[in-house]
Structure 1
Amino acid sequence: MSGWAAAPYTAALRDGGQLTLRGHDGWSCPLDVARWSAVADAADLALLRRCDGPVLDIGCGPGRLVEALGTRGHRALGIDINPGAVEATRLRGCHALRRSVFDRVPGAGRWGTALLIDGNIGIGGEPRTLLRRVARLVRPGGLLLAEAAPGEVDERRHVRLDAGSGAPGPAFPWARLGARALRREATAAGWACAETWTHRGRVFLTLTTPTGPG
């Protein structure tokens, strides 16, 4: 995940530049930094209407979802390992911490909803490990709203961030899952899929945890 803390991402958030994830074999995936830096759009708002209770936005980026949650009356916290993302979120007047999801997270076990949006199911490169970690952060009966990649993909690879000028950042593990693969990994991690829906070409899943022990 060190690539997300590299200079290309911070610079793109600051300057509105382009970013692309690149694999060593020529694979590439453009990142929509402009949308991340804008205000929440219609697809985002359809997602946020499903949130329940306090919300943890994992990999919050520049904070558009944390900001929109606040206007809807939710207590919300963004976490991100990139200092530029955390600063951008705080500049919106929102709460954010520079923190990995795998480190100590405030309110662990008490969040009503967690978010893995904008490709963040890929954090760490092992989705099942990530999903198990998130299950320990939400309360019993809590929700995870996750965005799947378009198409039926299931990719695990090491990638670098490329801003189009200068050398790409350091390699880090990443994953991309379509809806079918995400449902499979979520089930294996102890989640149940309550809903799959699309909005303007984006694909989302509502996942739930058991309501209590056993």
Structure 2
Amino acid sequence: MSGRSETRERIVDAAALLLRDHGTSAVTTRRVAEAAGVQAPAIYRLFGDKDGLLDAVAEHVLADFVAQKAAVVEAAAAGDVDPLEDLRAGWRAQIEFGLAHPALFRLLSDPERGLHSPVVRSGLEVLEARVHRVAATGRLRVSERRAVGLVQAAGTGVLTVLLSTPAEERDEGLAEAAYEAVLREVLTDPEQPTVSARGGTAAAAVALRAVAPRLDALSPAEQRLLSEWLDRIVDDPARGPG
């Protein structure tokens, strides 16, 4: 490892510890420099400013977590793990991570910061992969995009409420209750994983939409046209139950 890379790593590690133990306000140039054993100008040279340093810390802390999630999803897809069980496991892991890293969660709750974070994008792709697997089974009655958005919104809301409540007063069942509410909104029926259940027309359309890009019997143009038609069926607010 080069001297520059080693210095950068020391600074990020020091800042991550300060963020974890004392929150964003503790991540000052002076305190980070002291903890990392470097001069303050080194931080400016490597990261530009405090925001640049915080971005680097967020990427550093989240990278391992996202990589672990991606590995779990890949293993679940290759094995015989039920997509709904995999999605629930991902939800629980996300809630646990947010509660264990409150300062990082608050940092990335800033839409502007999260929007430009490569590792946040990678984490979203993991969620999208999980939802896609559910869609392909015929159990999703809303579009994949809507399902991903609902899971994201519910997770952010739950963590915001829990982290703003004293630990001893938190509702321990809130996260699971919120997740069940999301399932009721996006699934045909949590207890009946079949296309013929309530909302079957939409579920069938979502399932076909999930595999449309892989239908080799169709040309790329035909695949795009089919996907457009299916999106119209799923997104049509006037459609009745299947």
TM-score higher than 0.5? no
Instruction: Provide the TM-score with structure 2 as the length reference.
Output: 0.22
* Larger radius of gyration between Structure 1 and Structure 2: 2
Instruction: Name the structure, 1 or 2, with higher relative contact order (CA <8 Å, separation 6+).
Output: 1
The structure in which a higher percent of residues are helix is: 2
Structure showing the higher strand proportion among its residues: 1
